[in-house]
Structures are given as C-alpha cells and as structure tokens.
Amino acid sequence: MGVPEGTAAGPDRGMRQPTAGLSLEGLTALNVDGHALPRLAASWTWEDEGRTLRVKLRPDVVFHDGTKMNASSSAEALREAISRPGNRALYSSLADVKDVSTDGESDLLIHLIQPSAFLPEDLELPLARGNQTGTGPFKVVKNEATEVVLDRFDHYYLGTPSIQRVTIRPFNTLRTAWTSLLRGDIDMVTSVPPEAVEFVQNDNVQVVSFSRRYQYVIAFNSKQGPLKSPAVRRALNIAIDRDEIIKKVLQGHGIPSTGPLWPQHWAYDRSIPGYGYQPALAKSLLDGGSPRVRLTSSTGAPDASIRFTCLLPANFSILERLALEVQRQLYNVGVDMQFQVLPVDEFNTRISQGQFEATMLDMISGPSLGRAYIFWRSSRRFKGLNTFGYENDDAERMFDLLRTSTNDGAVRSSMNRLQRVLQDDPPALFLAWNDRTMAVRRDFKVVDEPGRDPFYTIWRWAPGMRSVR
C-alpha cells in the first residue's frame, strides 16, 4: 500500500493514519448521518441526568496480545486515550470526563463533570493498550519511518481477514505513488489525484471513489486585518464559483461547500440556501466596504480592495491547484491573494500558533457536530484546535446547546440557527466537500459499501481474484 504525501512527521500524520485505521478501533463508529454506531461497545445509555454514560461491551473481543477486552482492560485503554493531548484536542467531550469506572465484567461507566452530548460520537477514538496494542483486524509487527508492516489478526472478533499481510510505504508525492502502482511495485494507492484517475485505470488497476468527511477551505485569521470583517468574509464567499473549481481542479470529484457543518448530518436543514456565485455583488461590496490599497510595483497588479497572504503546505499538489484557481477568481473581483509555501511541519506550527492571515486546508468537518465545534467555537472560552480567532456570540450559544442537548427537537432547532449564523458570519472561505479515489490492482476484490471509506473494509477483501468494475 502506497500512501502519497505520507512522509509528514508526527504520530498521527502521514502513513500513521492508515496504520491506526487497520489496527485500532473505538468503542463506537460514526454513521454517515452523524449518529454513533456500536463497535467495541454493544450499546450505551445515559444515567444521572446525562452525567454518566453506561457502555456495555461486546463479549467476544481480544487485544492483539491475547488479553480479553473486558470492563477493566477497556477502562485502562480509555483512560490512556483520554490522557493524550492530541485526543483531547480532537474529541472535545473528553475534557468533560471526570472518571472512568467499571460495573462488573462488561459495563464501563464514564462519569462527566457536566452533560456532554458529543460523548457517544467521540468514543470512536482509537483504543490501545500499552504500546499501541489494539483490537483491529491487523496487528503491527514492524513500525519504521520507511515502512509499516501489519499481519492479520487471526482472532479478530468479526472474522479472520483474508489478506495475510499489509505493508504500508510512504511516498513524497501523489505522482510517485501512482506511477509505482502502474509499474507493479505496489498493489494499492490510498489517494489518486483527480486528473490521473482515467490514466491510472486500466486492465490491471481498478479505481474506487468515495465521499470523504473533509472539505477544502481557506480558513481566515479573524482577529485582525480586513478578514476580521464578517462583511468581507461574506463577499469573498459569494465571489467563488464552486462548480467551476470542482469541474476544473477536482475533475468533478466533489460537491460545493458553503459552511462548516456536515450536510448529511441528520439534523442539517437542507432548506437553508448556500452561497450563490455573485461576483458583481462581491466586487461592489468589497469596493464599498474597504479602502483600496496599492500593491507593490513588483507584483505588476492593479489596485485591489483586499490583499492577504495564504499559507500553503509544500508538496500538496491538489491544495496548490485549488489555491491557484481561487486566486484567479478572487483577482477578478479585486482581491489579491498571495501565497507563502512552507514545509509541512512549519505550516502546522504556524497554524497552531495563529501566525497567519489565511491558510489552505483539507479540513475534517464531519460527520459529527463535534468536528465544527472544535474548530469554530470561541477561543476565549475553549482552547484547542480553534486557532482561527473566530468569535460570534450567537454561534457560541448554539454550540453550547448542541454540546449539552440529547433531545432531537432541540438539536434540530439549534442546528437551524447555527447554520444561519455561520452563513451570515462565515469563519472561512468554504470551497468543496471532497471525494477520494483509491487505486487497487484487480487481483483484489474490493468490498465497496455505500457511504463508507472502502479502506476500512480491507480485512474483507479477497486476494487472488480479478475484479472488474
């Protein structure tokens, strides 16, 4: 398996993500509509007026080291996962966990300092004992910077995987990964660039496309400069022809995005219209709302209404092409967006420290409401991944209601209001919910389930077969 752009440093980046996806599991899994589904947990119920979640475990799960997963071992693994700063940043409800206790051999009790409705969804976080000993269909037997090797776990509770061994290798770029596939050096590439899909597919290679829970955005630093103005951010959003971006850059693999909330969420109000493409209105609003600034002579460009710099991670080709198309469209309404390309580690550091005007991101935004919560709520009240400086009192109230309410009616009402608030005061320039295409040699029969990333069905793939789609 080749992972393009997979050399990023860090325990949860690059090829570490597919490694965790094959070897680790959570108590729950997320459905495409945002609901939590049973996984290692068989069921759960709220107690103590929403301050305790009782989780009943499956009885047939063992860790890779042979330890049976019971209430005691799962509580240990959950406490370890909660203690990690990265998990606490990505799963907001973990900050509300006061303690994890057990009740008999099969029940976990998760005690909260305050009600936290996002907890069942957040329990999708991967669990492991000690040195990343998980319960997934494959177990890690080699873990190095240049290669990860996983062997099938014969005692996997859902059945023994058909594939005996998975080797994961990182590649610097998309091109080097899929050319290695075409040469027969590897059997699978986790991501193929949109413009290469038709070229890669042939008698020996099949392609599988699926919708991701990520969207391409240009996130703004809302604390300072012209991007502090909600009116400017609205004008930038109506200046963009998203259909043209999807057609030209993504080759049709995506759908327009006009906000941070997952449009397939069960509580999402689809009657609220998104941004239309209105370049003349955008230009008028920008000309009337901001003093024109003269660009430096070295750019050779005319006067502009707005000028800002957007950070880009080096060697991420799709982000670069998206940014260039956005730059072209914004130029047509008098906006000058320049780029600063940085090595990925420096790029991540600058974002975490809030040292940017704007930044191009492939941002996870679904399927749960907790994704939007961690990025766009008030940084004055909540410290984590919300480094973009977005502050809106109405949005904050709605986020609080969504975080604490388990009543479906209240969730729908708060979601409706939050959609409208974020439409009126957008925290970013939202572009497209993206698809991903993986390429696999036809020697494998891919299990492709609607609404699910087929990567997570690898344990069910059948090797030694010719699959024709």
469 residues of the chain, pLDDT tens digit each: 999 865 444 444 568 889 999 999 999 999 999 999 999 999 999 999 999 999 999 999 999 999 999 999 999 999 999 999 989 989 999 999 999 999 999 999 999 999 999 999 999 999 998 878 999 999 999 999 899 999 999 999 999 999 999 999 998 888 888 889 989 999 999 988 888 888 888 889 999 988 889 999 999 999 988 999 999 999 999 999 999 999 999 999 999 999 999 999 999 999 999 999 999 999 999 987 544 444 443 445 556 678 999 999 998 889 999 999 999 999 999 999 999 999 999 999 999 999 999 999 999 999 999 999 999 999 888 778 899 999 999 999 999 999 999 899 999 999 999 999 999 999 999 999 998 899 999 999 998 877 778 888 999 998 865 544 3
Give the pLDDT confidence score for residue 174 in this predicted structure: 80
- C-alpha distances in angstroms, 337 versus 48, 283, 307, 359? 52, 15, 6, 11
Identify the structural domains of the chain with CATH numbers, from first to last. Answer: 41-122 (3.90.76.10), 212-434 (3.10.105.10)
Give the pLDDT confidence score for residue 256 in this predicted structure: 96
Supply the DSSP string of 295-316, one letter for each residue.
PPGGG----BSEEEEEEEETT-
For the chain, the first-to-last Cα distance in angstroms comes to: 20
Helix (H) / strand (E) element for 217: namely strand 205-220
Measured CA to CA, the distance from residue 116 to residue 118 in angstroms comes to: 6
Give the pLDDT confidence score for residue 9 in this predicted structure: 42
Give the pLDDT confidence score for residue 289 in this predicted structure: 52
Q: In the structure encoding, which two tokens stand for residue 166, read together?
A: 């998975």
Q: In the structure encoding, which two tokens stand for residue 32, read together?
A: 């495409």
Give the pLDDT confidence score for residue 295 in this predicted structure: 42
